[in-house]
Amino acid sequence: MFNKRYFSERTYRAYRLGLKRAVQHLYYSILCAASRQTSIDLLNGKGEKALDIGCAFGYVVELLCRLRYDVAGLDISTYAARIAHEASASTEPIIADARLLPFRRNTFSLITCFEVLEHISDPELLVEEIGASLKERGVCVLTTPVEGQVQGLYDLVRCEKTHVSLLKQKEAHTLMSQYVGETLISPYLMLPIPPEIFNRYFLLQHSPTLISSGMMITSVKKGS
């Protein structure tokens, strides 16, 4: 499913048009917000290990490298992994299913998982793996569409058929709290401004639930 055609369709124009800077700006701002929420400095990864789940072409892996993390990228798509490796000599993503992470437990200080959860038919398996792979007081920063009328309209217009696990905020909070730890959720509305115009995405942060298209989830692994 996650082949060249998948990454070339209109829905995923960030990859088709090479909007790496826009993607990195978006997720850097999300990491900044997560740092403020947790009072944990996620912008200085010196001496820390990070994992980007669903790394695709390696845009977030590159961002985390610039923040000085020792980074691993993982994706289920052999096509995306090949493109990421060709684009960067320092990026060689691991091809694996995120529901069975091939890492030792209690390894990572930071796990990012952007726009992946909604594609997993059994998201609790992914979240359980994230919780197990984080170190004590490690942080997971995750984004995913929120179930609702706005996202439903987006998916209808874009003929999106791979969103098999859209969650409500309460469902996401329960899931992350159970398997990871203390969880904060911030809904947002992705404004329908084509990112290629300004080479960036625009989010309305803390939008009312009824008009939200997505949510940023920040979870800190509880101590023993």
Tell me the CA distances in angstroms from 162 to 55, 117, 224, one per residue in order: 17, 11, 37
Q: Name which of 38-52, 177-191, 195-209 the model is least confident about.
A: 195-209
Q: Taking 90 as the threshold, does the pLDDT of residue 80 lie above it?
A: no
Report the DSSP pairing between strands 70-75 and 214-221. Answer: unpaired
Lowest-confidence range among 79-83, 140-144, 157-161?
157-161
CA–CA separation, 70 and 174 (whole Å):
30
Reduced to 3 states (helix: H, G, I; strand: E, B; else coil), residue 188 is: strand
Which structure tokens are listed for 137? Answer: 């007081």
Residue 89 pLDDT > 60: no
Can you give the residue ranges of every domain in the chain? 4-221
Q: What is the DSSP letter of 3?
A: S
Q: Please state whether the predicted TM-score (pTM) of the whole model is above 0.85.
A: yes
Homologous superfamily of the 4-221 domain (CATH): Vaccinia Virus protein VP39 (3.40.50.150)
Does the pLDDT value for residue 150 go beyond 90? Answer: no
